Copies of this chain bind each other. A is one copy, B any other.
Amino acid sequence: MSERGGHGVWGPGRPEAEPIAHGGDLDAARRMFPDAPEPWIDLSTGINPVPYPCPAIDASLFHRLPSAADHAALREAASRAYGAAPDRIVPAPGTQILIETIPRLVSTRAVAVVGPTYAEHAAAWRRAGHAVSTVPCLEAVGTAQVVVVVNPNNPDGRTWPASPLLALAEVLSARNGLLVVDEAFTDLEAVESLCPRLRPGLVILRSFGKTYGLAGLRLGFAVAEAGIARRIAGALGPWAVAGPALAIGRAALDDAAWRRDAAAARAADAGRLDRMIARAGGTPVGGTVLFRTADFADALGLFRRLGAAGLHVRRFAEAPARLRFGLPADRNAWCRLSRILR
């Protein structure tokens, strides 16, 4: 609502987002380091730098509305990939919109986010009017009715085994609450997914773009018991996912061999990155096979040396000694990184 007229028509929650820093904003990096050589190398995200080889896209997927059959085929492929029945899978144009939408479907609650973690979770629950606290571990969630856990966690790679999460989901469900587990980085990890073990009061988020290197496609999933899944699907409407994303997502999710190979190749990359970080004096914090996080005695200085060389990594306002490195895409990018991390 404009200044005039007040906020009478708009529901609870903050009127607008506070800006949250994200990886992937090369324009901002260019402004910070105007003399850096082009092309920039973006290591500020946790997106697989070797994308899934997309099948050719039929033009009709751009022209016509996605059909019920297109949706069903994607849900079935996701069912095979994630181990949950198709009616428990809600495709969305990326998980970010699910992070925004779910808090608006839930009655106002006390929410605990296990963190530090991906900042959009706490921000989205706050924007929707909930009381949000950040807690350091599952044991500290207290009387919160909604708990959010990112597993493995971003940026420190912390993981949780299934059993305490499932136990917490049951405690929260008995409180009429909800456990949200963001499995954005689970695909290529040894972490156990909760998707095959759904229960009341458990919502799982699965990212597509990070694993498959197709972040621009905008595809992600909520996985939950059928009643919850219908609620979330209803809030997105029947055509939220684009036709090309439905088709490419279906092909990629059914390609378990590609996923196996990608997990092995990215793990090798992550090991190589770890060695470079160690050589540059970094103290490893953790990570996943798609990013490595480390603390440095002079993180700002290293960030600047990287930036001056056209390499963009992720900083954290709340942890100034910390830097997060995504994986270089090719030999040239590895060489340019290696020249600074020495």
Contacts and interface: CB of A to CB of B under 8 A. Distances in A.
Interface in A47-64: 47, 51, 54, 59-64
A63 B244 contact: no
A124 B99 CA distance: 20
Given A16-B234, A230-B15, A215 B63 contact: yes
B62 A51 contact: yes
Indicate how many identical chains form the complex: 2
A307 interface: no
A127 B235 CA distance: 9
A301 interface: no
B104 A104 contact: yes
Contacts of A213: 63
Interface string A233-245: 1111111111111
Contact of A240 (B59, B93, B200, B227): B93
Contact of A177 (B9, B99, B240): B9
Contacts of A2: 200, 225-228
A302 interface: no
Nearest to A100: B237
Given A2-B228, A27-B67, A51-B62, A93 B218 contact: yes
Interface in A171-206: 173-174, 176-178, 200-201
Contacts of A14: 234
A201 B6 CA distance: 10
Interface stretch (A17-25, A152-160, A287-295): A17-25
B234 A97 contact: no
Contacts of A4: 173, 200
A59 B24 CA distance: 16
Nearest to A248: B62
A68 interface: yes
Select the residue from A173, A225, A227 with max chain B CB neighbours within 10 A. Answer: A227
A217 interface: yes
A336 to B, nearest CB: 18
B17 A234 contact: yes
A97 B236 contact: yes
A332 interface: no
Interface stretch (A105-113, A267-275, A314-322): A105-113
Contacts of A243: 216-218
Contact of A97 (B8, B217, B230, B237): B237
Given A11-B104, A45-B65, A93-B242, 18 more contacts: A5-B176, A5-B200, A5-B201, A10-B107, A16-B230, A24-B67, A62-B216, A63-B215, A64-B215, A64-B216, A93-B218, A96-B238, A96-B240, A100-B234, A104-B105, A124-B237, A217-B242, A242-B244
